Amino acid sequence: MQRDVSSFNTYNYGDALYWDARYVQDALSFDWYQRYSSLHPFVRSFVPTSSRVLMVGCGNSLMSEDMVKDGYEDIMNVDISSVAIEMMQTKYACVPQLKYMQMDVRDMSYFADESFDTVIDKGTLDSLMCGSDAPLSASRMLGEVSRLIKPGGTYFLITYGDPKVRMPHLTRSAYSWKISLYIIPRPGFKKAGSCRSSEKSCLEAIPLTSEGMLPHDYVLEDPDSHFIYICNKTDEEVAQLPSYPLMEDVL
C-alpha cells in the first residue's frame, strides 16, 4: 500500500498566490480532512488544554475556534495567505485565546526555539508535498516544527500520507521524535467497528513493523482513511529506522 498523490497534482499548494486567490474566491470556512468533532478524542488525549498551541496552515478553518470552545487557552495560528489571515484576524478580534499571523511554515524564525507545547498540522505538510521542491520544503518545515516544540511536546500531524510516504520525512535523526500512528476513516464513512462506532479502538495505536511501516497484512477499513502521527519530542536520542529514499524523489 502506498498513498500519496502529491506528485501528480498540477497546483502549487506551497505558493501564497494560489491560496490568496482561493480565499478571495471562496471565503466560507473550510476544514481539510476532518472536523474537530472527529479529532476531539485524539486532541484531548495528547494536548492538555493549558498547552501553548501552534496551528500551522490554519486557513479559514473552524478547528481553532472549536478548540477554544473546548477549553484551550492559547492558540497561535499561522498561514502563508495574507488574505486568510486578515479575514481571521477580523473574525476573531474579540477572542483573546486566538492569535493570527501571516507566515511561511518553512521559515518561522519570528518564534524563539521551544516556544510551543504542541504543533498541529492538518494538511499543511501535504500541501507542501504538492509544490515545487517538495522534499526540500518538507524538510524545512519539519525542521522548524522540531525547533519550535519544547522537549516533551508534540507534533500532531493529520495527513492522507501512509507510513511509506511520511515516515521517511518524520524519522530523521535531527528530530528525535517518538512516533505513534492512529488511523481514522474519512468523514461519512460507515462500517461496523469503525471510529464512528468504536472510539476506544481508534485511540489504540497501530502496531508498526521494525521499519516503521504498517504490517503487510494490515487492511484499511476505509481505503481513503486519514493518518494521525503523534510525534513526541524526546530529550533522548530515538533509535532510527532504516533509511529509505523519499518516495517523492522516485515517483
pLDDT digits (tens, 9 = 90+) for 85-96: 999 999 999 999
Q: Which residue has the higher pLDDT, 15 or 236?
A: 15
pLDDT exceeds cutoff 90 at 21: no
The cell numbers describing 240, all together, are 532510527
Mapping DSSP onto H, E and C, the string for 157-191 reads EEECCCHHHHHHHHCCCCCCEEEEEEEECCCCCCC
Backbone angles phi, psi at 27, to 5 degrees: -95, 0
The band of 238, judged by pLDDT with boundaries at 50, 70 and 90, is low
The band of 209, judged by pLDDT with boundaries at 50, 70 and 90, is very high
Q: pTM of this prediction?
A: 0.86
Residues 120, 20: Cα–Cα separation, whole Å: 22
What is the average per-residue pLDDT within 179-201? 74
The band of 10, judged by pLDDT with boundaries at 50, 70 and 90, is very low
Percent of the chain, pLDDT > 90? 70
What is the average per-residue pLDDT within 158-180? 95
The band of 11, judged by pLDDT with boundaries at 50, 70 and 90, is low
Q: What is the pLDDT of residue 239?
A: 53
Q: What is the pLDDT of residue 141?
A: 97
